[in-house]
């Protein structure tokens, strides 16, 4: 097991709308020690290489994988987050504080080519990628990536149209709403079946069947680990790339770098069979987000007392295969106004984090926008502009992190017997005696009679939502309460309260 996972907690250390001022890596250097002290054990950092929008790009619009904020390309030297030196220094600071560091990488596409090229391609229905809409015809698109600002440093390969298999722009027919499948190419097998074949996502779709491309991505991966020292990777858009390629790439890096690299895939699907297929195809080497659990949280937050909390784990990856599940509440893709319409109402956010941070199964993820809060304006799914304020839940999450570190050990007993009020206890172990008790209500004030691992022991609510202490009986039983629409986390009262 990766050191960052031993009762560990991952923090997504970025959100989509943070200012593009180039200070992010320096901020991490300053905050790393405090984050480790709070109870985080690993950080997921944003894509660190140059995107097509230069210093404004989140990194998902990949231009040059080798430019970590070192070369004058796309209008800036730095990326949105800072320079290469600042990035490396931030990783060293995080690791020095005891944190694992996972790099976000995009292998599915490239955007922002330097020159147009002409070649032949077939128009494909974007809603059914198995359906051609015509015969091959000449097109032109921005598929030549010269990387003039970097030159031949780190790599001599320039990318051309033959390094891709499909794209979404034709300069001869710019208004045509089709995907262009390059003549002589094919979509990859062993991808998600969304829209017939999910190989294509956006921009210039990388052809991983190309020998040049495979050699380049393997070389880049080795260079990246050796240059940055990261401890693992988060694979973006995993459903859009042949599953076996991720395994090949990861095993190559592990062999050539000697590091037991952690791996997490973003396979956003609510089909359990699709997740299980990916896990099987990658030999259980790549964990996945529990997308169904996140969707359950979203629905519970919007339905309130009409959602049956006893079913919150139904159909989830953490229920079916807990070792492979990364449990999340929010991410940059699900925060309000973003691409996946599965945001979570603020009242339910602490309840959701209790359900991930204080239970036995899964590798929990905390989103920085939930931790520090976020404020931004963007156009929503309804076409209108909205101003969003995501409140900070840091105070409560810090209490959960402390309770997880000190008390969330040992056997877990569930008390899921009321549709709007559920609870569970952790019994503790020899090194963490006493355990804890958690009560959640989506309706009125709640109470659950539950058994702990500590007899005749006073418990207090570390969230301070309930002020009175409770004392367990000779067999460790007591009635534990919580407020309406809230959560309470009961820990032995003799332990000091977190500051």
- Active site residues per annotation: 236, 266
Q: Strands 363-367, 10-12: parallel, antiparallel or unpaired by DSSP?
A: parallel
Closest CA to 419 of 314, 315, 305, 316: 305
Query: Taking a C-beta distance cutoff of 8 angstroms, is the pair 235, 261 a contact?
Result: no
What residues contact residue 61 under an 8 Å CB cut-off, 6+ apart?
51, 52, 53, 111, 112, 203
- d(CA 63, CA 77) in angstroms, rounded, equals 13
Query: Taking a C-beta distance cutoff of 8 angstroms, is the pair 63, 145 a contact?
Result: yes
Query: Taking a C-beta distance cutoff of 8 angstroms, is the pair 67, 149 a contact?
Result: yes
Half-sphere exposure (Cβ direction) of 172: Cα atoms closer than 13 Å: 11
- d(CA 336, CA 322) in angstroms, rounded, equals 28
Number of Cβ within a 10 Å radius of residue 360? 14
What residues contact residue 456 under an 8 Å CB cut-off, 6+ apart?
471, 472, 473, 474
* 3-state DSSP assignment of residue 452: coil
Query: Taking a C-beta distance cutoff of 8 angstroms, is the pair 462, 498 a contact?
Result: yes
* 3-state DSSP assignment of residue 178: coil
């Amino acid at each position: 097991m990766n050191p960052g996972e031993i009762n560990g907690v991952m923090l997504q250390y970025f959100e989509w709308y943070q200012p593009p001022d180039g200070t992010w890596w320096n901020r991490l250097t300053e905050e790393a020690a405090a984050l480790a002290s709070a109870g985080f054990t690993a950080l997921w950092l944003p894509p660190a290489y140059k995107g097509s929008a230069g210093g404004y790009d989140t990194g998902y619009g990949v231009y040059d994988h080798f430019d970590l904020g070192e070369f004058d390309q796309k209008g800036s030297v730095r990326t949105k987050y800072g320079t290469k030196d600042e990035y490396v220094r931030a990783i060293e600071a995080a690791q020095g504080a005891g944190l694992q560091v996972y790099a976000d990488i995009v292998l599915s596409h490239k955007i922002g080519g330097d020159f147009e090229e002409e070649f032949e391609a077939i128009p494909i229905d974007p809603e059914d990628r198995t359906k051609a809409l015509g015969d091959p015809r000449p097109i032109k698109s921005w598929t030549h990536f010269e990387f003039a600002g970097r030159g031949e440093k780190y790599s001599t390969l320039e990318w051309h149209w033959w390094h891709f298999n499909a794209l979404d722009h034709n300069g001869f027919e710019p208004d045509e709403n089709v995907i262009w499948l390059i003549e002589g190419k094919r979509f990859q097998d062993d991808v998600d079946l969304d829209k017939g074949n999910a190989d294509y996502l956006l921009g210039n779709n990388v052809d991983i069947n190309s020998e040049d491309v495979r050699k380049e991505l393997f070389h880049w991966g080795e260079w990246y680990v050796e240059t940055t020292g990261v401890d693992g990777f988060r694979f973006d858009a995993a459903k859009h790339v042949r599953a076996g390629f991720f395994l090949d790439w990861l095993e190559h890096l592990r062999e050539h770098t000697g590091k037991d690299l952690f791996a997490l895939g973003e396979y956003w699907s609510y089909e359990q069979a699709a997740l299980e297929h990916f896990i099987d195809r990658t030999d259980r080497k790549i964990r996945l987000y529990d997308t169904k659990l996140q969707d359950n949280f979203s629905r519970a937050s919007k339905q309130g007392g009409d959602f049956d909390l006893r079913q919150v784990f139904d159909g989830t990856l953490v229920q079916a295969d807990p070792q492979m599940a990364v449990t999340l509440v929010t991410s940059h893709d699900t925060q309000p106004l973003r691409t996946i319409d599965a945001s979570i109402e603020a009242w339910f956010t602490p309840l959701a984090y209790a359900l991930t941070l204080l239970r036995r199964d899964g590798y929990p993820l905390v989103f920085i926008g939930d931790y520090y809060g976020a404020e931004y304006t963007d156009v929503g799914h309804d076409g209108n502009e909205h101003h969003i304020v995501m409140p900070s839940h840091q105070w409560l999450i810090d209490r959960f992190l402390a309770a997880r570190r000190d008390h969330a050990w040992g056997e877990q007993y569930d008390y899921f017997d009321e549709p709007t009020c559920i609870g569970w206890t952790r019994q503790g172990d020899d090194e963490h005696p006493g355990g804890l008790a958690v009560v959640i209500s989506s309706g009125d004030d709640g109470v659950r009679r539950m058994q702990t691992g500590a007899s005749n022991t006073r418990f207090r609510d570390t969230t301070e939502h309930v002020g009175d202490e409770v004392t367990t009986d000779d067999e460790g039983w007591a009635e534990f309460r919580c407020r309406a629409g809230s959560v309470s986390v009961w820990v032995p009262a003799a332990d000091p309260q977190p500051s």
